[in-house]
Structure 1
Amino acid sequence: MLTWSFTFFSSARILAYLPTIWVIHASGDSSQHSVLTWITWLGSNLTMAAWLYEQGGRRLGRAVLVNLSNATMCALIVALIFASRG
Structure 2
Amino acid sequence: MDTIRGLGRPQACAAATLNGSVARPSHAGPPAISRSRYLAAVGALFALFNSARVLAYLPTIWAVMATGDSGQHSLWTWFTFFGGNATMAIWLWEQNGRRCNAAIAASVGNALMCLGIIAVIAWTRL
- TM-score norm. by structure 2 comes to 0.66
Letter in 1 for 2:101: G
CA RMSD of aligned residues (A): 0.7
* Cα distance in 2, alignment partners of residues 65 and 4 from structure 1: 12
Decide which of 11, 24, 41 is 2:64's aligned counterpart.
Answer: 24
State the match for 1:54 in structure 2. 94
Greater share of helix residues, 1 or 2? Answer: 1
* Cα distance in 1, alignment partners of residues 122 and 42 from structure 2: 37
Letter in 2 for 1:45: N
Listed as ranges, the gaps of 5+ residues in structure 2 are 1-40
Cα drift, residue 8 of structure 1: 1.2
Query: How big is each residue's C-alpha offset from its partner over 1:34-85, in whole Å with a ceiling of 9 and x where there is no partner?
Result: 1100000000000000000011000111111100000000000001111100
| % identity of equivalent residues | 51
State the match for 1:12 in structure 2. 52
Please identify the structure whose Cα radius of gyration is greater.
Answer: 2
Decide which of 81, 101, 107 is 1:67's aligned counterpart.
Answer: 107
Q: Secondary structure at the match of 2:84?
A: helix
* Cα distance in 2, alignment partners of residues 6 and 58 from structure 1: 19
Letter in 2 for 1:18: L
Q: Which has the higher contact order (CA 8 A, sep 6+)?
A: 1
Listed as ranges, the gaps of 5+ residues in structure 1 are none
- Count of aligned positions: 86
Runs of 4 or more consecutive aligned structure 1 residues displaced over 4 Å after TM superposition: none
- TM-score norm. by structure 1 comes to 0.96
State the match for 1:77 in structure 2. 117
State the match for 2:85 in structure 1. 45
